[in-house]
Amino acid sequence: MAGRLEGKVAFITGAARGQGRAHAVKLASEGADIIAVDLAGPLDYVPYDSATPADLEETVRQVEALDRRILATIADVRDLAALRDAVDQGVAELGRLDVIVANAGICIPEAWDTITPETFKATIDTNVTGVWNTVMAGAHHIVDGGRGGSIVLISSYAGKKMQPFMVHYTASKHAVTGMTRAFAAELGPHNIRVNSVHPGGVNTPMGSGDMIGAITRSSATNPALGGMSTPFLPIYVAEPEDIADTVAFLASDDSRLITAEHISVDQGAHSY
């Protein structure tokens, strides 16, 4: 039985591990071939461990194990020219582009008065400009294909409510929410749908290294904010595959009339 994305091609950023890998594997399991991009190298300022080339190779292995094609490139989403090269090469090899998943992003827990110009800029450059670059690198290929398509921007719980001790992250994820509406309006005449996904806590390597320590230290500056992201459901942390299921739905024709929407996968935390 054919999958929902049989014969389609998806471009995914931040694909080396975590949510990005889960998106690549899920979309491949539904029949898509994959254009994968990841920095796969040191990230400045973040307290968690960075992805490696070996992580990206593992994503390639898992997609190929599903008998799907994948073209993986080490590139920085802050570099529009590099993204365009990766997508152009992928389309030349795989024949088309139907889906974009702008997944790459960073998170740096810091109390408001400890954020530096450098960490603020790094967050905005990756989480906002990087998402814009991702769409700009691929959307014209979907337009030129004349078949329509789907663009999924990964925002956050912080893109609907706010994330304590992350002014820069909250600002960046709200920007992604607005970008979703704006791209949806202008790409709609090409039958291209644009939606955002808003995860809460997810069990990924973003929780590695000193991430828990950074959260604990910043939370101590204002403990009253600690309960803001309490979920309604008795599941406090999602798995990457839970988010990927929603991305696959939005990428498929099952959501063919859904655009400019902001889908929360946070166990109700944004409503607390």
Tell me which residue of 37, 240, 225, 218 sits closest to 131, measured CA to CA.
Answer: 37
169 an active-site residue? yes
Structure tokens at 70: 């994948």
Structure tokens at 46: 């973040």
Phi/psi-derived region of residue 186, left when phi > 0, alpha when psi is between -120 and 50, beta in every other case = alpha
What are the phi and psi torsion angles at 263 (to 5°)?
A: -95, 115
Whether the Cβ atoms of residue 104 and residue 20 lie closer than 8 Å to each other: yes
Among residues 157, 169, 236, 272, the one annotated as catalytic is 169
Tell me which residue of 241, 192, 253 sits closest to 20, measured CA to CA.
Answer: 241
Whether the Cβ atoms of residue 104 and residue 77 lie closer than 8 Å to each other: yes
Which residues belong to the active site? Answer: 169
